[in-house]
Homo-oligomer: A and B are copies of this chain.
Amino acid sequence: MYQRFQELMNKIADLNYAAAVLMWDQETYMPIKGEKYRSQQIATLSGLSHDLFTSKEMLEMIEVLRSDESINSTQKLNVLETAKVLDKKKKLSTAFVIEMSKTVSNTFSSWQNAKQTNDTDSYLTQLEKLVLLKRQEADMLGFTNHPYDALIDEYEPGMTVAELDALFSEVKIKMTELLVKINKTPQVNDDCLRQHFDKEKQWKLGLELLKRMGYDFDAGRQDISSHPFTTSFSPQDVRVTTRIAENDIANMIWSCIHEGGHALYEQGLPEDQYGLPAAEAVSLGVHESQSRLWENNVGRQLPFWMANYPFLQKTFPEQLSKISLSDFYKAMNKVEPSLIRTESDEITYHFHIIIRYEIEKKLIEGSLKVKDVKQAWNSMYKDYMGIDIVDDRNGMLQDVHWSHGSFGYFPTYSLGSFYAAQYFAKACQDIPELESEIEKGNNQLLLDWLRKNIHTHGKRYSASELCNLITGENLSLDFFMKYANKKYGDIYGF
């Protein structure tokens, strides 16, 4: 029976990967009029995948297999993880799922409209309905301590409000301390990153960086899209996209390395478990740890650029030949409070996340009304970063997540950064020559370490188990703070 289970899971994966191809095409190559039928086609694939996943056959097999003692540990993992998802689905009635899907669709349209017209009020009216449904969803899914826990579980299984509250209050204190120190010293100049950089040359540079990271171009490719993303069509076809701004090379370089980190994870998942939990990422937080680790702990550090800056200078001699590595390094690490999350630096980024976390947690527990979100947003931006919001488009309307109903998603971005620092510290400890090898252009030692310690396990361990297994302790902010204090102390001289 396990074999039949696997067959059905493979079929479901085929449908999901096919939908991913259609979405990738939608973002990269599809002509404008193609939009008309594409969403319907994707919806059909998703619907069929859902039907198979929740079919009587699947439910019956899972009931039998979950108590089958003859299957091996990987098979057990696949059965139990699948059972977990199915148990959740069973808690939501079909009527509720349809209502949610309609409401999400309306809220998303309303958000798109608000971004154009600045009509925040209409959006909030719509968002209120969605928040009400998400609160109901939390109740239906069930929770022990906080309703928001039920929602986080979708993105970061096992994570709770209690843990996040503790973590983020520590973050607030320590990052504020660090920010105060940084703000007392003269600002870093990052003009060198904002010169004119030819798009074609940037494109080739991006490809070269991915290659140097160890990304397998025989099992993937890079294309252009308006928002960079990583997507898989199988463990042997993992694609990334990037965007190129002619007057800002930072945009391309670090988004390229970031997506490359996600893609290396996907390329490293166990291939023989196609379509099964054993071949899936642990959680969004752990996925983000892989992108952040490459983007920040490798890609915004000196060793990596000691290996790669000469190539960058050679590509853009006019722009960079007179810029020293040290100035380039400082520029890429400039810290400055700003309006937009996705453009923020490694430190203030977490204030953006905490603001969103606090708002959505309160919305779900019912202690903040949707109509008061704007005021809460604006006052926290002022409190935490001294920033005035003059326009909701650059304020509470900047992210798509809420309009998609993705409450509980934002914290995984911060978790990713903190896991990344902890993992990278451990890798450096395990491999004393790691950074000196990166300095020589050899990234393979790091990739091998990530493959062996993280990628190859798929969903075998929870994020917390994996962290303990690898580093011998729970997730701790210490690693990130140590890394950040050292880096910014050097750069800003304190």
Chain A residues with a Cβ under 8 A of chain B: 10-11, 14-15, 17-19, 21-22, 25, 29-38, 40-41, 44-45, 48, 216-221, 223, 233-234, 236-237, 274
B44 touches A11 (CB 8 A): yes
A15 touches B34 (CB 8 A): no
CB distance from A29 to the nearest CB of B (A): 6
CA distance A216 to B339 in the complex (A): 40
Q: Point out the residues of chain B lying under 8 angstroms from A34, CB to CB.
A: 219, 233-234, 236-237
Per CB-CB distance, the 4 closest pairs between chain A and chain B, nearest first, are: A34-B237, A37-B234, A14-B44, A33-B236
Q: Point out the residues of chain B lying under 8 angstroms from A30, CB to CB.
A: 237
Contact of A237 among B14, B38, B40 (CB under 8 A): B38
Q: Of all chain B residues, which has the CB nearest A221? A: B31
In the assembly, how many copies of this chain are there?
Answer: 2
CA distance A68 to B251 in the complex (A): 62
B14 touches A41 (CB 8 A): yes
CB distance from A401 to the nearest CB of B (A): 27
Q: Point out the residues of chain B lying under 8 angstroms from A29, CB to CB.
A: 221, 223
Q: Point out the residues of chain B lying under 8 angstroms from A220, CB to CB.
A: 31
CB distance from A456 to the nearest CB of B (A): 18
| A14-B44, A18-B22, A45-B18 known; A31-B217 Cβ under 8 A | yes
Q: Point out the residues of chain B lying under 8 angstroms from A25, CB to CB.
A: 21, 25
CA distance A219 to B11 in the complex (A): 31
CA distance A223 to B25 in the complex (A): 13
8 A-B contact pairs sorted by A residue (CB < 8 Å): A15-B45, A31-B218, A31-B219, A33-B219, A35-B236, A36-B236, A37-B237, A41-B234
| A11-B44, A25-B25, A48-B48 known; A17-B32 Cβ under 8 A | no
A233 touches B33 (CB 8 A): no
CA distance A219 to B22 in the complex (A): 16
Q: Point out the residues of chain B lying under 8 angstroms from A14, CB to CB.
A: 37, 40-41, 44-45
Since A33-B236, A35-B236, A36-B236 are in contact, a sample of 20 more A-B pairs with Cβ atoms closer than 8 Å, ordered by chain A residue number, is A11-B44, A14-B37, A17-B37, A17-B41, A18-B19, A18-B22, A18-B41, A18-B44, A21-B25, A29-B221, A31-B217, A31-B219, A31-B221, A31-B236, A31-B237, A34-B237, A37-B236, A37-B274, A38-B233, A38-B237
Contact of A44 among B15, B233, B234, B236 (CB under 8 A): B15
Q: Point out the residues of chain B lying under 8 angstroms from A40, CB to CB.
A: 10, 14
Q: Of all chain B residues, which has the CB nearest A271? A: B36
CA distance A25 to B37 in the complex (A): 18
CB distance from A445 to the nearest CB of B (A): 24
Q: Point out the residues of chain B lying under 8 angstroms from A15, CB to CB.
A: 44-45, 48
Q: Point out the residues of chain B lying under 8 angstroms from A218, CB to CB.
A: 31-33
CA distance A40 to B31 in the complex (A): 27
Q: Of all chain B residues, which has the CB nearest A17? A: B41
CB distance from A199 to the nearest CB of B (A): 16
CB distance from A179 to the nearest CB of B (A): 43
CA distance A120 to B15 in the complex (A): 38
| A41-B14, A41-B17, A45-B18 known; A33-B237 Cβ under 8 A | yes
Q: Of all chain B residues, which has the CB nearest A47? A: B11
Q: Point out the residues of chain B lying under 8 angstroms from A234, CB to CB.
A: 34, 36-38, 41
Q: Point out the residues of chain B lying under 8 angstroms from A17, CB to CB.
A: 37, 41
CB distance from A207 to the nearest CB of B (A): 13
CA distance A25 to B21 in the complex (A): 8
Interface centre among A22, A25, A30, A37 (most CB of B within 10 A): A37
Q: Of all chain B residues, which has the CB nearest A274? A: B37
CA distance A211 to B351 in the complex (A): 51
CA distance A223 to B223 in the complex (A): 14
Q: Point out the residues of chain B lying under 8 angstroms from A32, CB to CB.
A: 218
Q: Point out the residues of chain B lying under 8 angstroms from A41, CB to CB.
A: 14, 17-18, 233-234
Q: Point out the residues of chain B lying under 8 angstroms from A38, CB to CB.
A: 233-234, 237
CB distance from A137 to the nearest CB of B (A): 28
Interface centre among A21, A45, A220, A274 (most CB of B within 10 A): A21
CA distance A288 to B30 in the complex (A): 26
CB distance from A285 to the nearest CB of B (A): 27
